[in-house]
Structure 1
Amino acid sequence: MTRLKDALDHIAEAVIKQRDLLDRLDSIGDSDHGTNMARGFTAAMEELERLNDLSSTKVVFETVGTAFAESIGGASGPLYATAFLRAAAACDENTTFNVENVEKLLNAAVEGVKRRGHSDAGEKTMLDVLIPVHKCFTPEEAKDKTLYQCIEAAVKAAKDGLDYTKTIPAKKGRASYIGERSIGHEDPGAMSSLIMVRELFNFLKY
């Protein structure tokens, strides 16, 4: 599935370009979210280049998740690794991308992140973006929309979710140590999740 590989290459390049921004947003945490995301995506893309067969969505996501797990410490590595690995586990060998399948993969990823991070919406984390994004693909929201239209809606939902993180205190990670003083700051994990959704949309436009 070279199209999936091309999309991931595009997303990886965009996240890596925003490394400094993500590190700055993480100034109330460990100041390394951008550095870690760049390291993870670099490792993931290198591993994908080594694959002889890119036809399996399951294998591609497993490869990315494993690369994140093995190359990044801190909070972001295990959480993004879990998201990709849970999505991979929800695939069969013939999974293709349509609204129904994307909803299933996103649901698996979100539930995995919730369990791994012992977190939920409203705690100033990546879930404040990922949960609204997932909702855009559910039957009640997707209705008769195309996959592209659902992704377009997901970009807006992701931006709204990121903006929401500025209005609430952090309850997870090092940023939680400063409590109410974290209000006014966007969550770096929410930002990296937004970038990924936005760049998937941008990739599909062309």
Structure 2
Amino acid sequence: MSTSTQNEPSKDYAQILENKDEQKKLGSIKHSKFTELIGWLQNWGYNVVDKSKSVKTPGIEFQAEITPQVPYSSGLSTPLYLEFQDDLSDGIILRTTYELDKNIEIHLNTQTRAREIELTYIEINQLVLPMKVSLIRDHPFIKLYKVVFTDRLDKQYFLECMIDLMNSMSLITGKWDEKYYSVPPKETIAKKEKKIDDLELEEILNG
């Protein structure tokens, strides 16, 4: 009994060392892949900045900030992020967060049509989900992300995933623009009063 008890701490310590070795090996694999992906992006004209040492979000092991040299079709210049997270051993996250145009946001607020906003988000999800892009609602912010598995990941598919994320941003912006231009602005109280005054004045002038 005593011999077995004495051996248990040794086994636990050996298991801890083994786990540390596995984590170190996995970290090395992730870093190697991270470096490779950055190289692919830079070769295709993306501006890439390694933010791994300055990132403050818990759970992110490696992070790169990505900006295309050519603006998106929607005119946005919001950066994208490539992330390796500690809870994903065989995948990466491509994500971005951007804010709706202030004019659109002000217009939506003045309309006070919650139903229209809900319907728009339903339409947006129908546009981006086939591209395997997910959306987190945080109105007026748009948070998009795409999970990409690294097993047998090649350059073409990876760059296509980047394009999918950028295209989804353009589609979403276009959908909000469509809503903005299709809904007539509300008349202000001042305008309504002015119309009444004009009619009264016309009656007076016409006798």
TM-score normalised according to structure 2 size: 0.30
Q: RCO (CA 8 Å, sep 6+): is it higher in 1 or 2?
A: 1
Q: Relative to total residues, which structure has the larger helix share, 1 or 2?
A: 1
Q: Relative to total residues, which structure has the larger strand share, 1 or 2?
A: 2
TM-score normalised according to structure 1 size: 0.30
